[in-house]
Structure 1
Amino acid sequence: MDKHTPTLARAATNLLNPFFIFTALYALVALAEAGTGRAVLYVALELLAAAVVAGYVFLMRRRRRVGDFWISARAERLIPALVLLSAFVALLVALALLDAPRDLFLLTLSMGLASAAVAAITLVWKASAHCAVAGHAAVAGLLLLGPLGLLFLFALPLVVWSRLKLTAHTPSQTLAGTAVGAAFAFLFLA
């Protein structure tokens, strides 16, 4: 292996992390569906939800209750997963109260349910959350954004590659995460 491969894989896994991928997709769908003014409000709400989750994980990291920000140890994932799912529920409630566009609501719902499914799988077997979000974004991006969604399709193999190169997951764990994310996007958005 090239001496730069781990550095490139770490950069890819950090740049193409679940928060960034979902936020980028969410923002593009919000802009496409709601126009700039409302989209700014919807994106601000999503960023607030993401900040709550990230803040919680940083706090748990500081208190040494999780080993790393991506919560690599399966046994450490339950409570952070519940915090993430609570943030999705709060975001969905806000979107419903604000009469957000249907596609934006369904995008958020399907990603939240995919996250819940991966969290449930992870209780017994480690599936890749990075790949679940990337798989969801690849399918959702194509369905909701057309050619612009190709950006998310092209990101998917980079996410899988980085998770494998860093030995964060096995091929079957990346495939499982990708399949769960893609399936929920297709079921709700096709």
Structure 2
Amino acid sequence: MVLGISVGSPGWGIFVAVCSGVVPMVFILAGMCRAKIGDHHVTEIDERHVLIVAILAVVVGALVVLIVAGAPIELVGFTSAGLVTLVVAGVITSIGRWKVSVHTGVSAGVTVVLALALSPWWLLALMSTPLIGWSRVHLGDHTRGQVIVGAVAGAVVAGAAYASIA
């Protein structure tokens, strides 16, 4: 939403936030209600496969809407960056059978994109990524390697994708 407001398109910012944040959480909560997902962190690797595909479908649909409707390129770039980052996390998780941290990937990726789109001052927010990583390790959901790979992949992939589009 910050990016949408910053580029003068708060409605598109809300649309992207709903498609990339709210809808995926609804999928997770629905999976929990159906006992297909054990918790809101989706800690079991086998629970992630179908969820990642479903979220990818929503984000691709959102991206199509953004492009067809002529949304600001910054929001097209932001959504594309999230899509590509999710694909990378999905490949590592599903094909590599290694539960890379989506939490640290999102934290680092969004921070880098906001720094590219708005101001380098946003890079200060990267200080929160190690705290998120620590919490994921402390909870026993990830190894140190998984949170580090998630953060690096998120920052590099999202940043590169955004920079190539916007």
1: CA distance between counterparts of 2:123 and 2:145?
24
Quote the residue 1:70 is aligned against: 41
2: CA distance between counterparts of 1:93 and 1:68?
31
Report the alpha carbon displacement of residue 125 of structure 1 after superposing the two structures with TM: 1.1
Q: Please give the residue correspondences for 1:1-190 in structure 2 after superposition, counting only pairs within 5 Å.
A: 27-33=1-7, 35=8, 38-39=9-10, 41-49=11-19, 50-123=21-94, 124-150=97-123, 152-190=125-163
Contact residue 141 and residue 148 of structure 1 kept, 8 A: no
Question: Following TM superposition, where does structure 1 have runs of at least 4 consecutive aligned residues deviating by more than 4 angstroms?
Answer: none
Deviation per residue, 1:76-120 (Å, 9 max, x gap): 101111111111111111211221121221111011110111011
1: CA distance between counterparts of 2:120 and 2:159?
17
Q: Equivalent residue of 2:112, what SS?
A: helix
1: CA distance between counterparts of 2:115 and 2:18?
26
Structure 1 residues 47, 189: closer, same or farther in 2, change over 3 A?
closer
RMSD (Å), alpha carbons: 1.6
User: So what's the TM-score if we normalise by structure 2?
Assistant: 0.88
* Structure 2: stretches of 5+ with no match in the other structure: none
Q: Equivalent residue of 1:150, what SS?
A: helix
1: CA distance between counterparts of 2:92 and 2:116?
26
Q: Equivalent residue of 1:77, what SS?
A: helix
Structure 1 residues 133, 71: closer, same or farther in 2, change over 3 A?
same
| Worse-superposed segment, 171-180 or 142-151 | 142-151
Contact residue 132 and residue 181 of structure 1 kept, 8 A: yes
User: So what's the TM-score if we normalise by structure 1?
Assistant: 0.77
Report the alpha carbon displacement of residue 54 of structure 1 after superposing the two structures with TM: 1.8
Report the alpha carbon displacement of residue 59 of structure 1 after superposing the two structures with TM: 1.4
Report the alpha carbon displacement of residue 48 of structure 1 after superposing the two structures with TM: 3.4
Aligned residue pairs, count: 160
Equivalent pairs: percent with the same residue?
28
